[in-house]
Amino acid sequence: MSSDVLSDVLRTLRATGTVYFCDQLAFPWEKQFSGDDGASFHQIRRGSCRLESENQVEHLGPGDLVFLAPGRAHVLSSEPASVETTEQSADTLLLCGYCTFDNVLDTSLSKLFPEIIVIRDQQLQELSWLQSILNQLSREYLSMRPGTEIVVNRMTEVLIVELIRMNFGQQGESTLIKALADKYINKALQQLHQYPEKPWSLDTLAKDVGLSRAAFAKRFKDLVGQPMFNYLTQLRMQHACQLLAETSLPLYEVANRVGYESDLAFTRTFKKSLGKTPTLYRKQMTTS
């Protein structure tokens, strides 16, 4: 069975999220978000608001959903009142949330996320499954029944996964999504993710997918955004981090499982990638 690359990437990201603010806001109001909690999303359940982020301004109406990449600071505020606007009609109900990612390496995985994407209500109405998730999230949070916290957390994670799977309603924005749409690079990524421990070379992988070495190397770099060996090294380090944090396997066994014949070579690469030895990383993860 071929490896599901996107599922593997999402497991590596270890997304965890929750709804953290959902309330009725009376005009005038303003909320500031640093983005430090991770990726942010907001849906206007009722009313309207103004979003400003790094000199970009968006006007959001009922049903609109906005997603902002991790670290993207932004401000939500009430729209300026017109002569006809009353305080009651200007009240706004927001569903806000965040999702953090345990991505220890600064890899192309972060390129899954657009800096800022607005999905308008009309588009959401055509995506009934996504709208259902948002509706259920809102109901669960407002109900505050026993078990609400865990349900909200899991649904938030599903929401982020679904947004990534649909590429945030866009076409060709994400490097990884574009790569997975290419039959040659998709097959290569499946092989790398399923068997990261194999002694891969450009020649063997190119032959496996049916391209020449030169054509494969160029195609991989153009679509994935980095050379094949760079991607493979980052993938191996991600798997190594998981093994170090979640198992008590000896170092040589961890090295072997991610494609290194000696723990010395593995340690050298790990330290270059993460700035610390595997032994120190494991100690920090098990005592945190």
Q: For residue 252, what is the domain's CATH number?
A: 1.10.10.60
**Where residue 60 sits, what CATH number does that domain have?**
2.60.120.280
Taking the C-alpha atoms of residue 247 and residue 38, their distance in angstroms, rounded to an integer, is 27
Which domain-ending residue is among 171, 194, 224? Answer: 171
| Block mean pLDDT (10 aa), the chain, length 288 | 62 72 80 85 90 92 90 89 51 85 56 79 86 86 83 82 66 65 89 91 94 95 90 91 91 95 93 92 83
The token pair that represents 66 in the structure block = 């906005």
Radius of gyration of the chain (CA): 22
Q: Are 69 and 13 contained in the same domain?
A: yes
How many structural domains is the chain composed of? 2
Q: Do 121 and 224 reside in the same domain of the chain?
A: no
pLDDT of residue 14: 67
Q: For residue 2, is it within any domain?
A: no
Together in a domain, 108 and 32? yes
Contacts of 239 (CB under 8 A, 6+ apart): 12, 196, 257, 258
80/54 same-domain check? yes
pLDDT at 210: 94
Q: Which residues contact 69 (CB under 8 A, 6 or more apart)?
A: 35, 39, 110, 113, 114, 115, 116
Is 177 within the bounds of a domain? no
pLDDT of residue 147: 83
Domain match, 159 and 198 both: no
Cα 99–189–247 angle (5° rounding)?
A: 60
With 0-12 CB in 10 A as exposed, 13-18 as middle and 19+ as buried, what is 36?
A: exposed
Q: Which two tokens stand for residue 255?
A: 């090295």
Residue 67: count other Cβ atoms within 10 Å of its Cβ. Answer: 23
Q: Quick check: is 190 in a domain?
A: yes
One-character DSSP codes across 38-58: SEEEEEEEES-EEEEETTEEE
Q: What is the 8-class DSSP label of residue 108?
A: G
Cα–Cα distance, 74 to 81 (Å, whole number):
21
16 belongs to a structural domain: yes
Is 216 within the bounds of a domain? Answer: yes
| Of 286, 271, 279, the residue nearest 254 (C-alpha) | 279
Q: With beta carbons less than 8 A apart as the criterion, state whether 189 and 208 touch.
A: no
Q: Are residues 151 and 237 in the same domain?
A: no
Range of the domain at 78: 9-171
Do 154 and 123 lie in one domain? The reply is yes
**Alpha helix (H) ranges present in 144-257?**
148-165, 175-180, 183-194, 202-209, 213-224, 228-246, 251-257
Q: What is the pLDDT of residue 170?
A: 54
Quote the pLDDT of residue 103. Answer: 58
If asked whether residues 24 and 159 sit together in one domain, one would say yes
| C-alpha–C-alpha distance, residues 53 and 76, integer Å | 9
Q: Which of 149, 171, 193 is the last residue of a domain?
A: 171
Residue 244 in domain: yes
Same structural domain, 157 and 209: no
Q: Given the structure tokens 């995985």, which residue do they identify?
A: 109
> What's the sign of the alpha-carbon dihedral 100, 104, 110, 115?
positive
Are 116 and 190 contained in the same domain? no
CA distance 205 to 190: 11
Q: Is residue 201 part of a domain?
A: yes
pLDDT of residue 51: 95
Residue 74 covered by a domain: yes
- Are residue 166 and residue 31 in the same domain, yes or no? yes
Of 171, 194, 215, the position where a domain reaches its end is: 171
3-state secondary structure of 32: strand
Question: Do 191 and 250 fall into the same domain?
Answer: yes
Whether pTM > 0.75 for this model: the answer is no
